[in-house]
Amino acid sequence: MVVTRFAPSPTGYLHIGGLRTALFSYLWARKNNGKFLLRIEDTDKARNSQEATEAILKAFQWLGLEADGEITYQSKREDIYKKYIQQLLDEGKAYKCYMSKEELDALRETQMANKERTKYDGRYRDFTGTPPEGVEPVIRIKAPLSGEIIVHDGVKGDISFQAEDILDDFVIARADGSPTYNFVVAIDDALMGVNEVIRGDDHLSNTPKQIVVYEALGFDVPKFYHVPMIHNAQGKKLSKRDGATDVMAYKEMGYLPQALLNFLVRLGWSHGDQEIFSMDEMKELFDPKDINKSASIYNTEKLDWLNAHYIKNTPNEELTELLTDFGVVLSSHDKKEILLDALKERAKTLKELSTLINEIVTTPQSYDEKAVKKAFKGNAIEILETFANKLDAAKELHLPSDYHHVMETVVNEMEIGFGKIGNPLRVALLGKMSGPGLDVVMSVIGKDETILRIARAIEANI
C-alpha cells in the first residue's frame, strides 16, 4: 500500500509550494488506494503558532484535501523520540557531546580560516573520560565517516553523496532534550508507515541525514521524490508579489479551489497537452515519475484563465452561495439566473464577478466624464426621454427580449441607429461605456429602476 504524507511546520501560512507537494502526495495515495497522512511538525515551541496550525487545517478543508486517520502532532510524541534516542545511546550508535558553544564557534572559525568545510570534528565520538562540569550535552548520532549514501529519487534518479563531504555526527537531541528535525522526521515517517515521500527539492540536502537515522534504527528507507521549486517569470525564487502567499488569500481573491488545484498540478507535471483536469482525472492520471526535473514557472495569466473556466462552468446556485463571501446576496433575487448567466462569462475571479454584479444592481453615483462627453451629444437626451416614456407605458417587461423590443421600437420610430440609444443609455444605467448587454441590465434592475436611472443621468448631465 502506498502511504504518503504532508508535514508542514506551523510557523507561518501554508504557501503555494507547500500546497503543491501536498496535492501531489494526496493524488498519488488516492490513485493507489493508499493513505494520505497529515502531520503537524510543531516541535519548535519558540516559533510554533496555533493560529498557523488552524490556518493550515482551514486551507485543507477549503481545498477538499481530506487526510486519512487522525492528524499527527509531533509535540505529542516526545516520549517516542526519547525512547529512540536512548536506544541509539544504548547500542553505541549515538553519544553525548559536551562541546561548548564557544568551542564549537572556535572550531568553525579555524576551519573557515583554513578554507575547510565547517563541521563537528567528532572529538566526543569515542569519549570515555570524565565529562566537563557545567555543560549540558547534546546527543549526536554516529554518522558514517566514509563511503557513499545513495538517494534513490523518483524524479532526479539515483543521487550519490560522499559521506565525508556532507556528513558529520549531527545532533539528534539538543541540550534541553528536544529532538531535532531530521531525527523526528525519519522516526515519524517510519512509524506512520510512510513509504513514499514527495517533497520540495530544498529538502534533498536533508535526505542523507535522514537515511542515516533510518538505517541506525533498522527502519526501511522510503522512496523519495524531490520536486523542483516554483519560480517566477524571471526564473527566480517565488516571492509574495509573484504568488507565494497564504493559500487562503487565494480564496479571498476569488479563486475557486478546483481552479487552484488544477493550476498547481500543472506546475511541474503534465499529461500530454491537456490543461484542464477534474479531481477525478488528476487522481487517475497523476504519477510522480512524470514530474519535470526542472523548475516550473508560476503564471498568473494561466491561473486566471483556469479560474474563468471553472466560474463559467459552476452552477448558478453554487455561485450564489460562493458570492456571499464577497458581500453579494442573490438568493432572493428573481433575475439571478439572467444576471449570472450574463456575467460569469466575463469574470476571471469571484471578486471580479461580485464587482460586475454590484455595478449593475447599484445605482451609479457618478458618471465617467469621457463616456458622458461621447454619449450625451446631439439629441441623446430626447432619445432617452422617449425611451423612458415607452418603458413607462409598456405592460409586460420581464425578459431581456422584452426590453430589447422597446429599444427596437424607439430606433425604428426615431429612425436612428442602435448606437444612438445604446451609448447614452449605457452611461445612464451603469455610469460608464462598458458592461454586459443593456437588455440584460434592464431586465435585472427592472422597469422602475431603469426609468429612475435615466432621469438621474439626464438631470446630472444636462
Per-residue pLDDT at 102: 86
Cβ contact 71:38 at 8 Å: yes
Q: What is each CA distance from 112 to 167, 169, 397, 462, in whole angstroms?
A: 17, 19, 84, 80
All structural domains of the chain, each given as residue ranges with its CATH number in brackets, are 78-173 (3.90.800.10), 316-461 (1.10.10.350)
Which residue numbers are catalytic?
A: 240
**pLDDT at residue number 307:** 98
Q: Tell me the C-alpha distance between 68 and 91, whole Å.
A: 35
| Per-residue model confidence (pLDDT) at position 451 | 97
CB 317 within 8 A of CB 284: no
Evaluate whether 239 touches 232 at the Cβ level (below 8 Å).
Answer: yes
CA-based torsion, 408, 412, 418, 419: positive or negative: negative
Per-residue pLDDT of the chain (462 residues; tens, 9 = 90+): 999 999 998 887 889 999 999 999 999 999 999 999 999 998 777 777 788 889 899 999 999 999 999 999 999 999 999 999 999 999 999 999 999 888 888 889 988 888 888 889 989 999 988 999 888 999 999 999 999 999 999 999 999 999 988 889 999 999 999 999 999 999 999 999 999 999 999 999 999 999 999 999 999 999 999 999 999 888 888 876 776 678 999 999 999 999 999 999 999 999 999 999 999 999 999 999 999 999 999 999 999 999 999 999 999 999 999 999 999 999 999 999 999 999 999 999 999 999 999 999 999 999 999 999 999 999 999 999 999 999 999 988 999 999 999 999 999 999 999 999 999 999 999 999 999 999 999 999 999 999 999 999 999 876
Separation of alpha carbons 277 and 297, rounded Å: 19
Predicted pLDDT of residue 104: 87
Residue 122 and residue 168 in contact, taking contact as beta carbons nearer than 8 Å: yes
**What are the residues whose beta carbons fall under 8 Å from the beta carbon of 259, sequence distance 6 or more?**
303, 306, 307, 309, 310, 311
Q: Is 0.85 topped by the overall pTM?
A: yes
User: 3-state SS string over the chain?
Assistant: CCEEEECCCCCCCCCHHHHHHHHHHHHHHHHCCCEEEEEECCCCCCCCCHHHHHHHHHHHHHHCCCCCCCCEEHHHCHHHHHHHHHHHHHCCCEEEECCCHHHHHHHHHHHHHCCCCCCCCCCCCCCCCCCCCCCCCEEEECCCCCCEEEEEECCCEEEEEEHHHHCCCCEEECCCCCECHHHHHHHHHHHCCCCEEEEEHHHHHHHHHHHHHHHHHCCCCCEEEEECCEECCCCCECCCCCCCCCHHHHHHCCCCHHHHHHHHHCCCCCCCCCCCCCHHHHHHHCCHHHCCCCCEECCHHHHHHHHHHHHHCCCHHHHHHHHHHHCCCCCCCCCHHHHHHHHCCCCCCHHHHHHHHHHHHCCCCCCCHHHHHHHCCCCHHHHHHHHHHHHHHCCCCCCHHHHHHHHHHHHHHHCCCHHHHHHHHHHHHHCCCCCCCHHHHHHHHHHHHHHHHHHHHHHHHC
CA distance 57 to 362: 37
The predicted structure's pLDDT at residue 244: 65
Is 76 marked as a binding-site residue? no
Residue with grid cell 423590443, as numbered in its chain: 405
